[in-house]
Structure 1
Amino acid sequence: MIIWFIFGFIWVSRANLVNSDNQLHVFTVATEETDGYLRTTRSLRQFALNYSVLGLNTPWYGGDVKNTVGGGQKVRLLRDALTEFKHDGNAIILFIDGYDVIINANAEIILERFYKSGANVLFSAEGFCWPDNSLAVEYPAVKSGKRYLNSGAFIGYAPDIYKIITERPLKDEDDDQLYYTHIFLDPVLREKHKIKLDSTSAIFQNLHGAVDDVDLDFSPSGHRMRQVRLANLAYGTEPVIIHGNGKSKMHLNYLGNYIGNWWNPIDGCVACNEDLIQLNWDSENDFPFVVLACFINSGTPFLDKYFESILRLDYPKSRIGIVIFNRVEPHAVKVEHFVNLMDGEYHFVQADSAISLTERNARDRAVDICLESGCDYLFVVDAEARIDFSGTLKTLIKKNKSLIAPMTIRGEALWSNFWGALNDDGFYARSDDYISIAKRERLGLWNVPHFSTIYLIRKDRLSLLLSAYSYNVKNDPDMSFTQFCREKV
């Protein structure tokens, strides 16, 4: 969940039989439109790829693939979709997972590299033999690179892929990677369909266990000079289909702030002005209804300035309901004064007694109030925040993201309300681009693992966040919240 991509060679293989009649067809499987799915499909559109989404808005029977084996349903859906291509030797099929893949090249580049591989079917490769490690000894040795098959991305001629996916029976709850592994390890089938692994990441990059192998390349490169590329430093390649498999999804989020034609040094943020909400800002009734939750969790100097910044928001007061959670007894008088002063100015203004509540309970309560009032957005603003730009709320809504925060900084210091990366314990780590973003040298829309203090939540996510602040009681409420968003939403 967030905030966010030549012919002319002759090869001694089947590739020398292909010509411009070859068509690349991309297939992916997704049963719901998550933020990851939207990022994947956006990257496909950025490079004008012809794609089909299988299974959208249908039940998922393929098991809990995040935590265990499963995914056979993907194979079944692909079988049905490829029936029309099973005899089409000019059709080349690219399959990618639907939630954690980013495309970073057009069809010409992808096909050129596929032809160069000499394979009829080329699977992505990784460094782990999963889900059955006992099969590792059966894998052919490789001269260089990763040895084991990953089913999250593969490409091949339609007739070969169709025969592979119909070779053996498979249930929806069975594991798709294990299915393809058994096919690959069968020497007869491997030779028959010329199945190979992209061991050095000429096309595919699986990130799990390989995060240190890759880095972003911002240098200009011919006709791709406006595009940030991914360099595989281990093998000297430039993979163009990036898969955040396993525990690498957070690093995929970081890379996705640039690749997939999201941001580049020349144009800046390409994605920032896409899919914006267009509202009639002249009609007060057209404004979304926002519940503004104010949290006073510790002694706050200049609390009057905080309330003044709330009042300066350029947004119809009739479309804002304010609820204040004050856990500091000495501030009770100022809170009461603000409520009395603003009574009748906003849709509602209320102070929820929070002195006896934990911060965790108070934040969970704000989500409840927003849902009960029929809000369109929950706008969380802690007392530590000062909103200098009166158009902040409008700007956040226009961006049309399910969860979005403005950057706040403390004077000239590098302290901000976001973390660019996390360490192994889930606490702050400095990302390579943190300073550039915090100093506003790079402006954009960034997918980050953690933020706090001030943020906007869209109503379609609120019902999923009812206990987010209590998800991990060992951490502070804000850390529990963002951990829940990363892992559960």
Structure 2
Amino acid sequence: MMGHSLFMILIPCLLLNSILVSSSSGEKNSESDGGELLILTVASDNTDGLSRYLRSASVNGLEGKVLGLGEEWKGGDMNHPGGAYKINLLKDELAQYKDRKDLILKHLKKMKAKAVFGAESFCWPDPELADKYPSSEGYKFLNSGSFIGYADILYQIVSNEVVKDTDDDQRYYTKIYLNEDLRSKFGMVLDHAAKLFQNLNGNVADVELRFEEDGYPFLHNVEHNTQPLLVHGNGPSKIVLNGMGNYLPMAWNQVDQSPRVLIGVYIEGATPFLTEFFEKLTKLKYPKDKLSLHVYNGNKYHDVEVNEFVQNHKKEYENIEVIKSSDGIKIWAAKNKGLRATLDNGIDYYFNLDSDAHLDNPLTLKTLIKQNRPIIAPMLLRPYKAWSNFWGALSSEGFYARSSDYMNIVQNERKGVWNVPYISSAYLVNANVLKEYGEEISYIHKLLDPDMAFCSNAREAGIFMYVDNLEVFGHLINVDDFVHTNTEKYNEIWEIMNNPYDWELRYLHEKLFEKTLMKRTLHLQHLVLMYTISPFFSKRYAKEFIAVMEENGQWSDGSSNDKRLDSGYEAVPTRDIHMNQVNYEKEWLYLLKTYVMPLQQKVFIGYFNDPPRALMSFIVRYKPDEQPSLKPHHDSSTYTINIALNDEYEGGGCRFIRYDCSVVQNPIGWMTMHPGRLTHYHEGLETTKGTRYIMITFVDP
């Protein structure tokens, strides 16, 4: 007996799970009894969307046939009514099956139909026909993006009239459906409750992803309490479909060899912590003879550092090309040069790496290549924030919109490789994309900024972009408010609030969190909390802080006459520079609250003042030929912190007179904390050689 044929006609979409349960005409209750199922779709180009659709069919044990692949599209502009070319392709294909008996899917049998079309909320392309539709509950209007039926019935439907390739296919099927006689003849019904077909356009709010107990996702229509078996991203909902595709079966292949990669290093503006950026770049675990660097420096502030990096590492890489700030090239042009260099040199991958992207994970590049995606980004966040290098969705104007699962992804509640409409800062591009699409993939699109232009071009070409959060890859630097004019070289000192994570790594003592803030224990205590010594600043902070002050040079003269004070008089004068003289008062107060206050509350139990106040915060300089010591005095504070900034001197220290106890030769970056007024009368011991620098703050005067 000849096998029977059932056809499902799909415009690229997603098969969500196995839906093809059939029975023969002779055994109505049989789950499967021979027969043949053919799934057809229409596509002219082999796009990512088509590949995803075919993968989803394969996962469900199905085979799909693509009509028109590699042929010229004759259906007109799909942004407007048209597309009847699909009808003519289907007619030719169905002709060979029109005389064969058919099997019926279980779902199709329940609908008592011979042909089922998807339904939607819009009457397209002829809104004036809305009143002619039969009364129904649910989605009322026909959508021709997906339908299913017997081969002979579908052949009769597509052969009912002769159509031009540029006619509108949905208008064609709608005309048949609205004809009561033809609707009855062909047994046409619409899937009003989305039991089979879910059309997303206008109905995104009706669906949500849910998860089985084993974690397997499925699509649920909350409006009709159904579980659609196929989802169609029609109209502007294609981006939403891309997001849903993240949860459906995706291929993953391992690359067995190390391909050649061009890393485009782009420094558009002044960027804090660029030293660490370069260090992490050099630490990527990837054969350097397979890496070429395309370095763009758009700001002369970084000229020296970029040149030093190139000179120190040029022999390690396959090639390093540099675009200098003096070349006057715009960032979009530099990035286009990177794309072209990838193609011209036969390189396998292009890796865009902006200077705000810190790759803390040295395996980042290898991991991204293994994912084998056309365009993929490692998920990067600004520390302690939800600001990332990807968007989960787009607004109707093509700008940022938060997807329903964005926070789940950035908070790592859901991990995976996600299809997204926009990426930036760091992303890997397979050179095959550049070869296939050529000038279509560039950093120019209308007046958009380079990354938005690149992503817009990729979306229009139908190329999927992904972001990977399966591992922690690194983080983003905040470059928006970086002021690089406070000093010649050490402006990161001011980044304590804009980039606290990187500031802490560079400037706080490595044992501070280990021994104090994290474990909540103190390193050393003397004489019943007379004073406490704790590691605080790194040696780098101390060195740069001194350099900033010496560059400023506004040291007081050490006399009691001090115009910086409201009273104009200092009872216990030192040679010093106040924090407000170097525009650092706001940052220092933040430092007191964030790092000093937790220590204080462990030392002086029961004393709470949040935030701590400080009218006097200053760096002191002691020199034998300038001011070698300081007379006995009480501090005008509730408690005082004294931080050692160097050790290139002899003598010096602080003596607590009442207790006849001295603190001398504190390690660089270590802090002494002691009570201020009344109990801790003290003096500064004489510095006999060299220059001694200390940082003093009178807290809560």
The answer for the alignment partner of 1:44 in structure 2 is: 57
Q: Which moved more, 1:152-161 or 1:314-323?
A: 314-323
Q: Distance in 2 between matches of 1:289 and 1:449?
A: 27
Does the alignment pair 1:163 with 2:156? yes
The answer for the alignment partner of 2:122 in structure 1 is: 128
The answer for the alignment partner of 1:241 in structure 2 is: 230
Does the alignment pair 1:389 with 2:361? yes
Relative to the length of structure 2, the TM-score reads 0.59
Residue in structure 1 matching 2:284, options 313, 316, 322:
313
Residue in structure 2 matching 1:486, options 421, 439, 459:
459
Equivalent AA in structure 2 for residue 165 of structure 1: V
- More RCO (CA 8 Å, sep 6+): 1
Residue in structure 1 matching 2:443, options 455, 464, 469:
469
Q: What secondary structure sits across from 1:251 in the alignment?
A: helix
Q: What secondary structure sits across from 1:306 in the alignment?
A: helix
Asked if 1 retains the 8 angstrom alpha-carbon contact of 2:195 and 2:226, the reply is yes
The answer for the alignment partner of 2:656 in structure 1 is: none
Does the alignment pair 1:78 with 2:90? yes
Asked if 2 retains the 8 angstrom alpha-carbon contact of 1:72 and 1:173, the reply is yes
Q: Describe how 1:442-453 pairs up with structure 2 within 5 A.
A: 442-453=414-425
- CA deviation profile, 1:74-117 (whole Å, cap 9, x unmatched): 2222222222321222256xxxxxxxxxxxxxxxxxx2221111
Change (3 A) 1:8 1:426: closer
Q: What secondary structure sits across from 1:447 in the alignment?
A: strand
Residue in structure 2 matching 1:350, options 321, 325, 335:
321
Q: CA deviation at 1:454?
A: 0.3
Change (3 A) 1:20 1:459: same
Q: Distance in 2 between matches of 1:364 and 1:139?
A: 52
- CA deviation profile, 1:288-337 (whole Å, cap 9, x unmatched): 22111000012112212111211112222222111111101011111122
- CA deviation profile, 1:346-365 (whole Å, cap 9, x unmatched): 22101113552222222222
Q: Distance in 1 between matches of 2:158 and 2:386?
A: 53
Q: Describe how 1:165-314 pairs up with structure 2 within 5 A.
A: 165-220=158-213, 227-258=216-247, 260=248, 262=249, 271=250, 274-279=251-256, 281=257, 287-314=258-285
Q: Distance in 2 between matches of 1:158 and 1:148?
A: 23
Asked if 1 retains the 8 angstrom alpha-carbon contact of 2:264 and 2:350, the reply is yes
- CA deviation profile, 1:339-378 (whole Å, cap 9, x unmatched): 2222232221011135522222222222222222222111
Asked if 1 retains the 8 angstrom alpha-carbon contact of 2:260 and 2:291, the reply is yes
Q: Which moved more, 1:410-419 or 1:230-239?
A: 410-419
Q: CA deviation at 1:14?
A: 12
The answer for the alignment partner of 2:400 in structure 1 is: 428
Q: Describe how 1:355-394 pairs up with structure 2 within 5 A.
A: 356-394=328-366
Equivalent AA in structure 2 for residue 276 of structure 1: N
Q: CA deviation at 1:461?
A: 1.9
Change (3 A) 1:15 1:254: farther
Asked if 2 retains the 8 angstrom alpha-carbon contact of 1:421 and 1:448, the reply is yes
Q: Distance in 2 between matches of 1:318 and 1:171?
A: 57
The answer for the alignment partner of 1:408 in structure 2 is: 380
Q: CA deviation at 1:52?
A: 1.5
Asked if 1 retains the 8 angstrom alpha-carbon contact of 2:22 and 2:103, the reply is no
Does the alignment pair 1:29 with 2:42? yes
Q: What secondary structure sits across from 1:468 in the alignment?
A: coil
Equivalent AA in structure 1 for residue 246 of structure 2: N
Higher helix share: 1
Asked if 2 retains the 8 angstrom alpha-carbon contact of 1:336 and 1:351, the reply is no
- CA deviation profile, 1:35-81 (whole Å, cap 9, x unmatched): 1111111111111123222222222222221x112222222222222
Asked if 2 retains the 8 angstrom alpha-carbon contact of 1:122 and 1:197, the reply is yes
Q: Describe how 1:133-148 pairs up with structure 2 within 5 A.
A: 133-142=127-136, 144-148=137-141
Higher strand share: 2
Q: What secondary structure sits across from 2:418 in the alignment?
A: coil
Does the alignment pair 1:418 with 2:390? yes
Residue in structure 2 matching 1:62, options 75, 81, 95:
75
Unaligned regions of 5+ residues in structure 2, if any?
1-15, 463-701
Q: CA deviation at 1:150?
A: 0.8
Equivalent AA in structure 1 for residue 200 of structure 2: L
The answer for the alignment partner of 1:335 in structure 2 is: 306
| Identity rate, percent | 41
The answer for the alignment partner of 2:645 in structure 1 is: none
Equivalent AA in structure 1 for residue 221 of structure 2: N
Q: What secondary structure sits across from 1:152 in the alignment?
A: strand
Change (3 A) 1:197 1:360: same
- CA deviation profile, 1:390-429 (whole Å, cap 9, x unmatched): 2211211121111000111223332221122233443333
- CA deviation profile, 1:133-163 (whole Å, cap 9, x unmatched): 2332332222x01221111000111110111
Q: CA deviation at 1:207?
A: 0.6
Change (3 A) 1:186 1:361: same
Change (3 A) 1:227 1:297: same
Unaligned regions of 5+ residues in structure 1, if any?
93-110, 263-270, 282-286
Asked if 2 retains the 8 angstrom alpha-carbon contact of 1:276 and 1:400, the reply is yes
Asked if 2 retains the 8 angstrom alpha-carbon contact of 1:61 and 1:173, the reply is yes
Q: Distance in 1 between matches of 2:379 and 2:333?
A: 25
Q: Distance in 1 between matches of 2:265 and 2:398?
A: 26
Q: How many equivalent pairs are there?
A: 440
- CA deviation profile, 1:106-131 (whole Å, cap 9, x unmatched): xxxxx222111111101001111212
Asked if 2 retains the 8 angstrom alpha-carbon contact of 1:339 and 1:350, the reply is no
Change (3 A) 1:9 1:344: closer
Asked if 2 retains the 8 angstrom alpha-carbon contact of 1:204 and 1:243, the reply is yes
Change (3 A) 1:433 1:470: same
